[in-house]
């Protein structure tokens, strides 16, 4: 099964498609995503690249962590 994340998709959609992404992102410092309600409400308004900028977490760090879990990316 291909595990491809479109970086233009919002965080909520990605987490719905791949629930294990939540643990990776929370582990990197996106702690509000641990709350399903917050993820549902706020996650629809931000992409992974946007969230990286807002939380001062390098996008490369996030992508590397997700690659280690077997994900690839498209834009």
Domain residue limits, the chain: 4-74
CATH class, 4-74 region:
mainly alpha
Asked whether residue 1 carries a pLDDT value surpassing 90, the answer given is: no
pLDDT tens by residue, 22-54? 999 999 999 999 999 999 999 999 999 999 999
The pTM of this model reads: 0.91
Cβ proximity of 70 and 1 under 8 Å:
no
Cβ proximity of 23 and 34 under 8 Å:
no
Q: Reduce the DSSP state of residue 47 to 3 states and report it.
A: strand
Cβ proximity of 74 and 4 under 8 Å:
yes
Beta-sheet pairing, 4-6 with 72-74:
parallel
Query: pLDDT-based confidence at 66, cuts 50/70/90?
Result: very high
Half-sphere exposure of 42 (CA within 13 A, CB side): 14
Give the per-residue pLDDT at 2: 85
């Amino acid at each position: 099964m291909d595990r491809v994340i479109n970086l233009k998709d919002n965080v909520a959609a990605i987490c719905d498609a791949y629930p294990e992404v939540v643990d990776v992102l929370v582990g990197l410092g996106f702690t509000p995503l641990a709350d399903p309600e917050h993820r549902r409400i706020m996650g629809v308004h931000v992409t992974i690249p946007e969230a990286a900028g807002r939380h001062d977490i390098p996008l490369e760090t996030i992508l590397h962590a997700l690659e280690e879990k077997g994900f690839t990316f498209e834009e």
